[in-house]
Each structure stands twice: as structure tokens, then as C-alpha cells.
Amino acid sequence: MKILVTGGAGFLGQALCRGLLAQGHTVVSTQRRRSASLEAMGVEQRLGDLADAAHVTRALEGVDAVFHNAAKAGHWGSEQSYVDANVTGTTNVLAACRAHGITRLVYTSTTSVAHNGRVPCEGGNEVNTPYAPAFKAPYPRTKQVAEKAVLAANGSPVAGGAALATVALRPRLIWGPGDTNLLPRLVERARAGRLRFIAGGHNRMDTSYVDNAADAHLKAFAALSPGSACAGKAYFISNGEPQPVREIVNGLLVAAGEPRVEASVPFAVAYAAGALCEALWSTLPLESEPPMTRFVAEQLATPHWYDLSAAKRDFGYVPQVSVAEGLQRLARWWQERPDGG
């Protein structure tokens, strides 16, 4: 099959491209800038902005299925920038699927669509963990809107008389070799003495090793068809090994050859700092991301781990790489990368 991956040049996007190529598919990616990594893989690149409906229509021409992975992530930015990337982009992808008769779409969502402030989620599943009613950041708000649109599109007619089958996956905190965002930021802050846990960092959270997250997408795709068990549904995805935040962070730091961090601040202090940063960054305004926001403070201080039974039942997802093995792989990659050592 010829399969398009939106955001194929990103961290998870590249893992999806590698997995699809290994299965014998022809892979196309659409993103804003050309990627040397994708070029080396032999992935066709169709450059453009997903908020541009005409570009999306061209990008999806001639493909059989779509992995809609692209998004504007992060915890700071204008509401409109998130709407353009996450809502308008998704609307355009769905419209192009219908226009081109594409019948399968796998959407990369996020656990943040169900993040409800300081309400803990401990072993929650897709039934007893509803959508959050309100948000303090545009990322989860726009991702929730997009996920709802994707699931609502399941079963809708496409050109040629067939129907579109959709599924949404919600991976939690993806990490592993190839990460150019999370781990470098942790290392930078730790070296500068600016890394602190919130309320001790004892709350447990799920994470997702990148190859496991990609494998979940591939398994969901293999099981997806009109009327299948996973069609029109969303699924939590993780390693299924919840750990205290302090152990997650220190595990990543040790893999990068850095010492463990022990410093902590109370939640009230972090939350107040987040509110102050939001006010300053909105007023001045500053172009960089603030070091703390209320949304980030809540995320880092609240238990979040999930029951993966539905993903196992409906499309056979079982994490293949443990956290321990993933950290070993990450340590090797960190040392062997061109600017490592």
C-alpha cells in the first residue's frame, strides 16, 4: 500500500515511517521542511502546511491510507497557531480522505485530552476516563477537538462509495532514541541547576517508549476496517509501567550520563510560578516558552497512568520494549549520536 504519514519528519513520525517501510509499504510524508532522515529512508516528501486545504488535497493524492501524526505540541503559543495546526489541519486531512476515497485513517492523539486538572487518573480506561471539561492550555483543548472530529468521521462516505474507518491513539509521554526535544531539555535544565520536581515527584505516571508507540499505531492500522472493533474509538497507549515522576526523569538523565536530581518545590509554588509566567509572557510578550505554566504544573504533579486492556483486546497491543531495555537503548544512542560523548 501507499501510505501517507503527516509529520513524518518528527520523532514518532520517523518511527512510523520506519515501521511501515519494514512492512513493505510505500511511504509518503508531508511536513513543512525537507528532512534528510526521510530522504535517506527513501520516503517521498510532499512539503506544505496542513492548514492549507489545497496542499493537503495534493498531498493525499494517490495514497491508500493515512497516519495523521502531525500536530503543534508544547505548552505555549497563540490559540490560533494551535487551532491552525491541530483543528484546521485535521479538518483538511479528513476532507481530503473523503475526496480521494481513502478508507483508513489512524490519528495520533494524546492522553492530555482527558487531563482534568488535579484529578488523578490511576488505572483509568477509555470508559471511566472522560474528556476533560476545560483546559488551561491550547494544546490539549485543540487536540480534543481534533480527536472528536476524527472519531465522528468514522463510517462517513468517501469518494467511490466506500466508508472511512478511523481510530485515535493516545500515547503518553513518548521517549527513546532519536528524541531531540524532551531529553535535551532535561539535560540542559539539569546542567543549569534549574530542574526541580513538583511536590517531590512521587506521583506515578505512564510513559511510552517510541518503538512501542509506533507499534501500537501499526497494530491498530492492521486491525482497522469499517465495522472493526477499533473503528471509531480512542485508546490509551503507554508502556504499562507507571513510575514516580522522579524515577522517570532520573532514569532519562542517567541514560544521558547526567547525575540524578533531587531538588523539589511545593505544588502551590510551582502553580503560582506558572500563573506568573503566563501573565508575563502574555503581556510582554516573549517569544520563548515560559519555564512553567499552570497546565505543566498540574501535569507533573498529578498521577496519570492507564489501563491498556482495550488496546490489547481490540488490536493486540502489548508493549514489546520495557522501560529498562528502552533506557539501555537510549543510553547507547545518546553516546553514539554525532554530538554525543
Q: What is the pLDDT of residues 209-224, one digit of tens each?
A: 999 999 999 999 999 9
Q: What are the b/e assignments for 50-68, b being 16+ CB within 10 Å?
A: bbebebbeebbeebebbbb
Average pLDDT over residues 97-105: 98
Average pLDDT over residues 127-153: 96
Does position 264 have pLDDT exceeding 80, yes or no? yes
User: What class is the 2-177+208-239 domain?
Assistant: alpha beta
CA atoms within 13 A on the CB side of 159: 12
pTM: 0.96
67 in helix, strand or coil?
strand
Does position 75 have pLDDT exceeding 90, yes or no? no
Report the side by side order of strands in the sheet with 234-237.
44-45, 26-30, 2-6, 65-68, 104-108, 165-171, 234-237
Overall residue count recorded for the chain in this entry: 341
Does position 116 have pLDDT exceeding 80, yes or no? yes
CA atoms within 13 A on the CB side of 70: 29
pLDDT at 340: 61
pLDDT at 133: 95
CA pair distance 289, 304, nearest whole angstrom: 24
Does position 208 have pLDDT exceeding 90, yes or no? yes
CA pair distance 72, 65, nearest whole angstrom: 22
Average pLDDT over residues 157-171: 97
pLDDT at 284: 87
Helix H or strand E segment including 322: none
Spatial neighbors of 261 by CB under 8 A, at least 6 apart, are 190, 195, 196, 197, 246, 249, 250, 253
Whole-number mean pLDDT of the chain? 96
pLDDT at 286: 82
pLDDT at 156: 97
pLDDT at 285: 79
Does position 341 have pLDDT exceeding 70, yes or no? no
| Residues taking part in catalysis | 139
What percent of the chain clears pLDDT 70, i.e. is strictly above it? Answer: 99
Does position 339 have pLDDT exceeding 80, yes or no? no
Residue 71 pLDDT level (bands cut at 50, 70, 90)? very high
Residue 108 pLDDT level (bands cut at 50, 70, 90)? very high
Q: Are strands 234-237 and 264-265 parallel, antiparallel or unpaired?
A: unpaired
CA pair distance 123, 276, nearest whole angstrom: 33
CA pair distance 52, 84, nearest whole angstrom: 9
